[in-house]
Amino acid sequence: MAEDVRIKLVIWDLDNTLWEGTLSEGGGARLRPGAREAVLELDRRGIVQSVASKNDPDAAAARIRDFGLEDYFLCPRISWGPKSAGVGAILSALNIKPEAAAFVDDSEFERDEVLHALPRVHAYDGASLAELTALPEFQVPFITRDAANRRGMYRADLARQSAESAFEGSADEFLATLGMELDISPVTREDIRRVEELTVRTHQLNSTGYTYDYDELTAMIDDPGYLFLICGLRDKYGDSGKVGLLLMERGDALRIKLLIVSCRVMSRGIGSALLAHATRIAAREGKPLLAEFFETEHNRIMYITYKLAGFEEVEENGSALLLRYASDTPLPMPDYLKVNESQTN
Amino acid sequence: MDTRERIYQFFVDKKKADGLTYDTELLKSRFINSLFALQIVMFVEKEFGVKLGRREISTENFHSINAIAELVESHLGGNG
């Protein structure tokens, strides 16, 4: 298996995988050895879980509840239809790529059926569940507070998605119903792991892709030559955790080195709010605002955000650009979210 | 439909056409925020089958429906 495989989602079969025997034939009285431990351990690591099973949906859901595991499985797909359809539906509901998903099923036929439709999914027979969770691709480098809450965040995302699809009106009007609050504060030492996670995991909404090691990040917290901000997002569906970063170098100008927004909160206007915040700080300090941009094959969306917000190229060196905010007036804050700013360093 | 009408229809579909004209200043009004900016760039590329270069994504080219239509037509040889 390739080294860079990192599983974010585990989709379980039920009969003879999660529990012993076949439910429709009177089985399913006991979980398989190690099953509960595996589910709890994956959850602790921030790996989300679901179920794709051929079973009667009501009977299977009831049995999952009997075992007290119903909260651990997001959007389970239990039906007599092909499992590839169930797995595909789960991936799209959770917005997780097939290469970051594991499918665990004792049946070779079912694994092949899923792999035929979704060849990039990783399939496992789950013969030993203790061994499964010990595999390298199921490890996480460290467990942040955001990772531990990930299941709740995905659940809130699902609730938000279903409200959005039922909503009649523009995207802004929908966002205004969420009651979003963005808490912007200076990065602290407790945030460093999450900062690292955001810089490494975020590709699309990442203006430069710069990464810094732990010591460099820590040093910037205390250095008055930098303004290093992190933002958390809450709305009526729950707490999305720390979702954005803004790192600016202070000189004759303020120079944005990092602008990162977690893809999990894409399309909620967080990038433009952070950018508006940066223009306000620059106005407050009476300095021009510059932004470094490094073009990759994934981050065009960030370039468009800068350009249509009124940034213009001042230097261009292949993929490396320097942009300048070309107005004296700060950008307006999107009116569908409330910004709480705590003491900046 | 001509180019402008097709672009206007996009605003209608997104329920953002109230009071909108071909000349309305898009970027300084409630019509385009950055979310919508991304959508309009992607819409233009898909609807008209053009690929916009880095330089073409600018406030000048997106300041009104007329400006966007001109940009599109410059790609299509001016025949809309």
**Structural domains in chain B (count):** 1
CATH, range A146-341: 3.40.630.30
Residue A342: closest CA among A213, A187, A221: A187
**CATH number of the domain that B69 lies in?**
1.10.1200.10
d(CA A241, CA A217): 20
**Average pLDDT of every residue of chain A:** 93
For chain A, give every residue range classified as CATH 3.40.630.30: 146-341
Nearest CA in chain B to A267: B35
Give a yes or no: residue B80 inside a domain: no
CATH, range A9-140: 3.40.50.1000
Mean pLDDT of the A174-199 span: 94
For chain A, give every residue range classified as CATH 3.40.50.1000: 9-140
- HSE (side-chain half, CA atoms, 13 Å) at A49: 24
Give the residues across from A231 on adjacent strands: A184, A244
Structural domain boundaries enclosing B8: 3-75
Taking 60 as the threshold, does the pLDDT of residue A220 lie above it?
Answer: yes
Interface pTM, i.e. ipTM: 0.89
User: What is the side-by-side strand order in the sheet with A122-124?
Assistant: A77-79, A48-54, A9-12, A101-104, A122-124
Between chain A and chain B, how many beta carbons pairs sit less than 8 Å apart? 53
**pLDDT value of position B33:** 72
For residue A308, give the nearest of B16, B27, B30 by CB distance: B27
Structure tokens at B45: 């590329």
Confidence band for A141, pLDDT divided at 50, 70 and 90: confident
Give a yes or no: residue B52 inside a domain: yes
Check if the beta carbon of residue A273 is closer than 8 Å to that of residue A337. Answer: yes
Write down the residue that tokens 């430069």 correspond to. Answer: A208
Q: Which residues of A lie closer than 8 Å to B, measured between beta carbons?
A: 169-173, 267-269, 271-272, 275, 295, 301, 303-305, 307-310, 312-313, 334
DSSP state of A237: T
Between chains, do B35 and A295 touch, taking CB under 8 Å as contact?
no
Between chains, do B27 and A269 touch, taking CB under 8 Å as contact?
no
**pLDDT value of position B29:** 67
Phi, psi of A243 (to 5 degrees): -120, -5
Query: In chain A, pLDDT over 90 holds for what percent of residues?
Result: 80
Q: How many CB atoms lie within 10 A of CB A250?
A: 15
**pLDDT value of position A248:** 98
Query: In chain A, pLDDT over 70 holds for what percent of residues?
Result: 98
